[in-house]
């Protein structure tokens, strides 16, 4: 999968800690940034395809991505 979208993420240059939060409040902070990101869709697809378990990707938390994968498998 082409990963060039990564260069255009709103998270580029920001602390990775923001996107690997330890609480729900932290997830909201990351989500706000992702919401304004031009490559949100590609990011989420990448995380789902690669079964990335940790962090916020494409504006979705770990739990939300697990749910999306379960729904896709059903
Ligand atoms: S959607 Fe969020 S995590 Fe993904 S590239 Fe954009 S800002 Fe970064």
Q: pTM (2 decimals)?
A: 0.94
Decide if 10 contacts 40 (C-beta within 8 A). Answer: no
Structure confidence at residue 17 (pLDDT): 97
Protein residues whose CB sits closer than 6 Å to any atom of ligand 1: 9-11, 19, 33-34, 37, 39-40, 43, 57-59
47 is in which domain, residue-wise?
4-73
Q: Closest ligand 1 atom to the C-alpha of 37? A: 6
Question: What percentage of the chain exceeds 70 in pLDDT?
Answer: 99
Coil/strand/helix, residue 60: strand
Instruction: State the DSSP string of 2-57.
Output: --GGGGG-TTTTS-GGGGS-SSHHHHHHHHHHHHT-TTHHHHHHHHHHTT--SS-B
Distance 66 CA to ligand 1 centre (A): 18
Domain count for the chain: 1
Q: Closest ligand 1 atom to the C-alpha of 8? A: 5
């Amino acid at each position: 999968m082409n990963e060039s979208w990564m260069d255009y993420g709103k998270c580029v240059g920001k602390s990775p800690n923001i996107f690997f939060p330890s609480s729900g409040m932290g997830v909201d902070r990351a989500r706000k940034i992702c919401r304004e990101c031009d490559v949100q869709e590609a990011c989420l697809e990448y995380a789902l395809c690669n079964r990335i378990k940790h962090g916020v990707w494409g504006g979705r938390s770990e739990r939300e991505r697990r749910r999306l994968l379960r729904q896709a498998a059903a």
